[in-house]
Amino acid sequence: MVILLLGSNGYVGTEFKRQLDSCVTISHIDIVDENFLREFLLDNPIEFVINCAGYVGNPNVDACETQREETFDGNVLFPLMVQRACSGLVALGHVSTGCIYNELDPENPGKEYTELDKPNFDFSSGNSSFYSGTKSLAEKLLMENSEDLYIWRLRMPFESVPHKKNLLTKLPNYTTVVKAKNSISRLSDFVRCCIESYEKRIPFGIYNVTNGGHVYFPDLCRSIDNSIKRKYVTVDEISEMFVVPRSNCILSNSKLLDTGIEMDDVHTAIEKCREYGKG
């Protein structure tokens, strides 16, 4: 199976490249041209396209507020272009985010969000970051033109290998932590499940690809390093520290599990990361 991987140099894309036996990557300069991409798909034995490309802001999503054109181009216009190029030729898998939902009281969340729930942390809600707004809009527009499409929702990726995008790497550097319960995704589990989606030909559609259950950030921080003095604050208190609000929510991964794809619960996944790190 030959897969075309777009966005292969990013944190998520690098893990896809590591796990895939045979994939083709082409530069961003080439793939901004829709005609080029379609001709490339016609001329090569590509069976599936995975889009990991996107604009997340640097050092964090606050930067997307002042880099709106780049954010909109990368998160909305680009995946739509890729979908048009793939139309009628190959199936498409698109990496999205679960950060399009938000709980008003994340210490005591009222529900687990499923793929049937309408996003409440996006442009239509009027209370989201620009980044989350673009990711939600892309999902909506992609699904309107849906044919042979997977949308995989990633949430706060973590892994055993240190990286600036790794939640387990970032948390020890924070002296102020929000008191919130959240779903998170082990990156290697996420990528494996995405690849298996196509290999096992599960039904096309949107999937929350998160480890089962949730973490409570204060507990997670203490388990990583309890020697660090931290201040644990409410969402209202921490919102004063950021340019835009942050998403806090728990997602259900039942739809994915019901297809037969296996996913560790979050606490097992975190423990595996720790054991791997010790080795």
Domain extent, residue 144, equals: 3-278
Task: Specify whether the backbone of 152 is left (phi greater than 0), alpha (psi in -120 to 50) or beta.
Answer: beta
Whole-number pLDDT of residue 23: 73
CA–CA distance, 206 with 259 (Å, rounded to integer): 13
Alpha-carbon separation of residue 42 from 23, 47, 88, 195 (angstroms): 16, 11, 11, 22
Q: Would you call 261 helix, strand, or coil by DSSP?
A: coil
Whole-number pLDDT of residue 276: 56
* pTM given for the model: 0.95
| The total number of structural domains that make up the chain | 1
Per-residue confidence in pLDDT tens, the chain, 279 aa: 789 999 999 999 999 999 997 677 765 546 678 999 999 999 999 999 999 999 998 888 899 999 999 999 999 999 999 999 999 999 999 999 999 999 988 998 889 999 999 999 999 998 899 999 999 999 999 999 888 999 999 999 999 999 999 999 999 899 999 999 999 999 999 999 999 999 999 999 999 999 999 999 999 999 988 888 999 999 999 888 888 889 999 999 999 999 999 999 999 999 999 875 554
Task: CATH number of the domain at 82, please.
Answer: 3.40.50.720
Whole-number pLDDT of residue 190: 99
Peptide linkage before 59 cis (omega within 30 of 0): yes
Q: Rounded to a whole number, what is the largest CA-CA distance in the chain? A: 58
Whole-number pLDDT of residue 279: 41
